[in-house]
Structure 1
Amino acid sequence: MFLSLCQEVQREREQMDKYTLYMVFGFCVHGFIEHFPGHTKFLEINISIGTPPQYFKVLFDTGSSDLWVPSLYCTRKACGKHSKFDPTKSSTYTKIGTKHHIEYGTGSVRGVIGADQVTVSDSNTISNQQFLETVFETDDILLNATFDGIAGLAYPPLEPDGMTPIFDNMIAQNLVELPIFSFYLNRNPNDPVGGELIFGGYDPCLFTGNLSWAPVTQKDYWQIQIDNIQVGGTIAFCAEGCQAVVDTGNSLISGPPDDIKQMQNLIGAHLNNDTYFIECSNRSVMPDITFTINGIPYPLIPEAYTLVVSPVSCFDMNSPNGSFWILGDVFLRAYYSVFDRGNDRVGFAPAVP
């Protein structure tokens, strides 16, 4: 059954551009991966806010809960080249006025909360969605970014000011048949479609085998348990288990600083300006890194856990301030991911090339 469905979907895909909506098990929005200084990659998707619609390119982020876009009143340099929301031009806008501040690992934003209708695809509009209209953004988060804002897909407890996350409103307003969403990040740099995000379902054409599930261990981030981490077939980290966050808003794999430092030594990387680099020619002899999650091994070959930044130089992992690991887009390009709010679990399966 899946084969005929996949063949039909593929025929439809060939007739669509990268922004087109189509049905699989839910509604799907195509995104695209942009490159910008720093050589990180994110899946960015167009949304609209207000009536008539004002368009924004946002990063859908499982590592946060907030929806925010720049306000018309943001004068920071970081806001300069980005689309800005003008509340005076929307007939469906409601002023909330509560001040709110968001901290990320790479910067911060602050502004005031408003509410309006938000459209994620041509026919799926969320009513009365609260969002942050930012009036201040640190340069390090958006100055060189190609996305205008961030749409958080984590659990509501991350939201102290009471803004309901966008996916929770989709569920409450019966816009999705199932309380799940799924990500596919395309590994082919020449494909104009950088990936797909499906709300309300998943696409069996985009992975092989069966989904394997890991329960969420803490309902704020999409946090799961890692059994162990192997380097070259030998357990090197998390021998007694450790916690990890599945984060589409992080381009790399991150971990506790001491573990990352030891990991770099094991794979032969060197530190330069707070970033670990390797010679790309060495990737053929570098070890695989395997994350075992709920009894299932998820290996990453060197070409998967490194990013090419020049013909001879690659970089791989970073170390945030924290005690848990972060499985970012490096991991998620290799494995299709399904986020199940109904059963509080995350599913993985090998992604198609």
Structure 2
Amino acid sequence: MKWLVVLGLVALSECLVRVPLIKVKSMRENLQENGMLKEYLEKFPYSPVKFLSNDQNKKVNYESLRNYLDLTYVGLITIGTPPQTFKVVFDTGSADFWVPSVFCNIEPCQKHGRFHSQSSSTFKLPPGELRTVELSYGSGDVIGFIASDILKIGDLEAFRQAFVLTTWEDHAFWSFTAYDGILGLAYPKLAQAGGTPVFDKLWKKGRISENLFAFYLTSGGKRGSMLMLGGVDHSYYSGELRWLPVTKGGYWQVALNSITVNGTIIACHDGCQAILDTGSSVVDGPYEDVLNIQNIIHAQRTFNDMYVIDCNTTTHLPDIVFVIGGFNYPVPSRSYVRKDAFGTCVSTFDTIADNTFNSKTWILGDVFLRVYFSVYDRANNRVGLAPAI
């Protein structure tokens, strides 16, 4: 029986599709190096609280969780015949799929890969009038039109997929992003453009053997970050996966019991919610709670709202422990302190700027997900976590 279980796990891992991910310089880092970060933050203040308030059950248009300042992992896909290659963020915090169109002639589009529809023999527009859509994000909107073409991800058999071709983007700061588009992996209710999201299409067309996907994100400049579609490679984590039920469909949201340091609760005292978000490299939380963490790790606020730490003290800083499902998930200082291009050590805890709605939701980005291998199980509406290798 034991051998049957082992063989089953091996067979399962062989059915999955691996998509390599590349760690790139974030938009925040590019803006900082070009002396434009302060201007950006003043012009486009970020407030994800409108997505996280108690109004989540109302019939509203869901939007992406972040302003894309901190996206750092991208993968390659191809669209069309012959295939055109694009760098996209595989994002658990949104559900739409878009890339720039050749008809977008403003600076942000011109600095990225643009899809040439006239060069693809399989390109199609929906019947009837051209349908334009506006996708709203924390850092500004993009406008485009809906089309479809042949999409290929990794070694998966290519298939026809609807997507948005952008013709306008909100501002020139998008020029500093290191990716071309976004491929959302959240629940379908978050899809602003409607239709069937990419992952749902994969499952419905039988392209994957299991209705789940997983992320392994490396740290310290190591290669090997990976998106796994349709299965789990158990060699990427240690111990057993601990499963947590999704509390609200839409985002990959779970119950967070508390946040502790050295056994003392420092935030989320009465329980709160956490969203696992591969599209962010920071941890976002309520203003007062994050400020308390900054004080505990001796982070000092700067003129551009960054919190800096003495690099000589980082090895002595405590673990920040997220208690989820009754288990401790410690995040060490080497994970939550980032050294920027100028050699400054920066805290990767970020506040939700507008606390008007008293949101109790945290956004756990790559700071957390580099430490823990994560599985997103749509079939059972649950998330699995285990220490990453």
Question: What TM-score do the two structures reach when normalised by structure 2?
Answer: 0.81
1:242 aligns with 2:272: yes
1:99 aligns with 2:132: yes
Residue 370 of structure 2 aligns to a residue in which SS?
helix
- CA pair 24-319 structure 1, distance change in 2 beyond 3 A: farther
- CA pair 141-201 structure 1, distance change in 2 beyond 3 A: farther
Which residue pairs with 2:18 in the alignment? 28
State the 1:330 CA deviation: 0.6
Which of 253, 262, 285 is residue 223 of structure 1 equivalent to?
Answer: 253
Q: Which amino acid aligns with 1:335?
A: Y
Residue 131 of structure 2 aligns to a residue in which SS?
strand
Query: How do residues 175-214 of structure 1 correspond to structure 2 at under 5 angstroms?
Result: 175-189=207-221, 191-193=222-224, 195-214=225-244
Unaligned runs of 5+ in 1: 10-22
State the 1:207 CA deviation: 0.4
Which of 114, 125, 136 is residue 147 of structure 2 equivalent to?
Answer: 114
**C-alpha distance in 2 between matches for 1:334 and 1:65:** 24
1:167 aligns with 2:206: no
Deviation larger for 35-44 or 73-82: 35-44
State the 1:141 CA deviation: 6.1
Is the CA contact 1:61–1:150 (under 8 Å) kept in the aligned structure 2? Answer: yes
- CA pair 200-141 structure 1, distance change in 2 beyond 3 A: farther
Q: Which amino acid aligns with 1:142?
A: W
Deviation larger for 156-165 or 69-78: 156-165
Is the CA contact 2:71–2:89 (under 8 Å) kept in the aligned structure 1? Answer: no
Higher helix share: 2
- CA pair 54-104 structure 1, distance change in 2 beyond 3 A: same
**C-alpha distance in 2 between matches for 1:235 and 1:210:** 26
Q: Which amino acid aligns with 2:329?
A: Y
**C-alpha distance in 1 between matches for 2:271 and 2:132:** 39
Is the CA contact 2:318–2:333 (under 8 Å) kept in the aligned structure 1? Answer: yes
State the 1:140 CA deviation: 6.6
1:38 aligns with 2:28: yes
Which residue pairs with 1:305 in the alignment? 336
Residue 210 of structure 1 aligns to a residue in which SS?
coil
Is the CA contact 2:96–2:192 (under 8 Å) kept in the aligned structure 1? Answer: no
What's the % identity of the aligned pairs? 39
Q: Which amino acid aligns with 1:292?
A: V
Unaligned runs of 5+ in 2: 30-69
- CA pair 287-140 structure 1, distance change in 2 beyond 3 A: farther
Which residue pairs with 1:63 in the alignment? 93
**C-alpha distance in 2 between matches for 1:178 and 1:141:** 39
Question: What TM-score do the two structures reach when normalised by structure 1?
Answer: 0.89
Deviation larger for 169-178 or 71-80: 71-80
Q: Which amino acid aligns with 1:326?
A: I
- Per-residue displacement from partner, 1:34-64 (whole Å, max 9, x unpaired)? 1245244622110011111111010000000
- Per-residue displacement from partner, 1:10-33 (whole Å, max 9, x unpaired)? xxxxxxxxxxxxx63411111111
- CA pair 111-183 structure 1, distance change in 2 beyond 3 A: same
Which residue pairs with 2:317 in the alignment? 286
Q: Which amino acid aligns with 2:100?
A: P
- Per-residue displacement from partner, 1:121-164 (whole Å, max 9, x unpaired)? 1442232x111101112347632111100000000011243221
State the 1:234 CA deviation: 0.9
Deviation larger for 287-296 or 30-39: 30-39
Q: Which amino acid aligns with 2:291?
A: K
**C-alpha distance in 2 between matches for 1:224 and 1:340:** 13
Count of matched residue pairs: 335
Which residue pairs with 1:20 in the alignment? none
Is the CA contact 2:135–2:141 (under 8 Å) kept in the aligned structure 1? Answer: yes
- CA pair 245-200 structure 1, distance change in 2 beyond 3 A: same
- Per-residue displacement from partner, 1:87-108 (whole Å, max 9, x unpaired)? 1122222213322122223333
State the 1:312 CA deviation: 4.2
Is the CA contact 1:277–1:316 (under 8 Å) kept in the aligned structure 2? Answer: no
- CA pair 251-140 structure 1, distance change in 2 beyond 3 A: farther
**C-alpha distance in 1 between matches for 2:271 and 2:210:** 31
Which residue pairs with 2:384 in the alignment? 347
Which of 172, 187, 195 is residue 155 of structure 1 equivalent to?
Answer: 187
Query: How do residues 251-266 of structure 1 correspond to structure 2 at under 5 angstroms?
Result: 251-266=281-296
